[in-house]
């Protein structure tokens, strides 16, 4: 195989597996140290095989839990060498999809539980009001002024965080307020900002049902996340 074809093969494999980058790692083994293993790579095929194995271990296997390496190698060898397999490719895909779905459900259940616990605790805090929908709010700065309707456009400053304090969005960080139609945002905002008067500042704790639901939003907000917002109503346009 010439170099260009080998390069294309490696690139294709990495793209298929989602291996976009390589991270150096030092590992210890009871039988062979990293340095000893490198000394055994005497041919280009040895190096290629070992490197590909490292990439699969780093970028694919670490996404899963415990892995039986004997079964892993059996499956890889059988598929690569066109030997008899214990399941077909369709079954393999379904198995991985089912595993990922199960893992996602377990993670989602944990997120929901944490959100419910936070909402329960916050509801008992001084100054917190809970609406019929489950939205929680407290007044940080009171003001005398008009209240917007759902059909109004409003200008606000705001900061949004996850329960662990991770900031996922902030007009303060961008250095300018945001303007939007109140009935075109998440339900928690549509309901909550209507409770505000111009010049006031509220803190909202928004259950996932009134936020981005079971899908989440982008890379920052996962499924079933309870969100916290501090919102300052600047004007009704």
* Residue extents of the structural domains in the chain: 3-85, 107-236
The active-site residue, picked from 137, 204, 208, 212, is 212
Q: What pLDDT does residue 35 have?
A: 53
Query: What is the structure's pLDDT at 107?
Result: 85
Domain 107-236 in CATH 3.10.50.40? The answer is yes
The CB-side HSE value for 162 (13 A sphere, CA atoms) comes to 15
Active site residue 158: yes
> What pLDDT sits at residue 36?
54
Where do we find the tokens 């803190």?
Answer: 203
> Which one of 158, 204, 208, 224 is the catalytic residue?
158
User: CA nearest 135: which of 182, 186, 192?
Assistant: 192
Q: Choosing from 10, 48, 169, 180, which is the catalytic residue?
A: 169
- pLDDT by 10-residue block (mean), the chain, 237 residues: 46 46 40 55 90 87 81 89 90 87 86 97 98 98 96 98 97 97 97 98 98 93 97 97
Is 229 part of the annotated catalytic residue set? Answer: yes
Enter the pTM of the model.
0.66
What does the alpha-carbon distance between residue 190 and residue 167 come to, in Å, rounded to a whole number? 21
pLDDT at 1: 45
Whole-number Å distance between alpha carbons of 166 and 153:
28
Tokens 């960080």 found at: 173
Q: Pick from 52, 50, 44: which is nearest to 10 by CA?
A: 52
Residue 124: its pLDDT value, please? 97
* Res 29: pLDDT: 42
Whether 169 is catalytic is: yes
The catalytic residue among 48, 50, 168, 180 is: 168
CB atoms under 10 Å from CB of 191, counted, come to 20
- Active-site residue, 168 included: yes
């Amino acid at each position: 195989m010439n170099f260009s074809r080998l390069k294309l093969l490696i690139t294709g494999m990495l793209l298929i597996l989602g291996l976009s980058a390589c991270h150096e790692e030092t590992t210890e083994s009871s039988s062979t140290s990293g340095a000893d293993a490198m000394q055994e790579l005497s041919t280009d095929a040895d190096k290629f095989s070992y490197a590909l194995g490292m990439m699969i271990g780093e970028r694919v296997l670490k996404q899963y839990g415990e892995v039986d390496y004997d079964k892993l190698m059996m499956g890889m060898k059988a598929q690569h060498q066109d030997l008899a397999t214990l399941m077909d490719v369709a079954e393999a895909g379904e198995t991985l999809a089912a595993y990922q779905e199960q893992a996602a459900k377990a993670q989602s259940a944990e997120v929901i539980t944490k959100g419910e616990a936070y909402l329960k605790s916050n509801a008992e805090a001084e100054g917190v009001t809970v609406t019929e929908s489950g939205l929680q709010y407290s007044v940080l700065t009171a003001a005398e002024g008009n209240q917007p309707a759902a059909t109004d456009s409003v200008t606000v400053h705001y900061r949004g965080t996850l329960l662990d304090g991770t900031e996922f969005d902030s007009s303060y960080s961008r250095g300018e307020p945001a303007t939007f139609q109140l009935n075109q945002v998440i339900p928690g905002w549509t309901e909550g900002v209507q409770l505000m008067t111009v010049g006031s500042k509220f803190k909202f704790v928004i259950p996932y049902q009134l936020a981005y639901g079971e899908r989440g939003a982008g890379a920052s907000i996962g499924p079933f996340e309870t969100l916290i917002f501090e919102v300052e109503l600047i004007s009704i346009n």
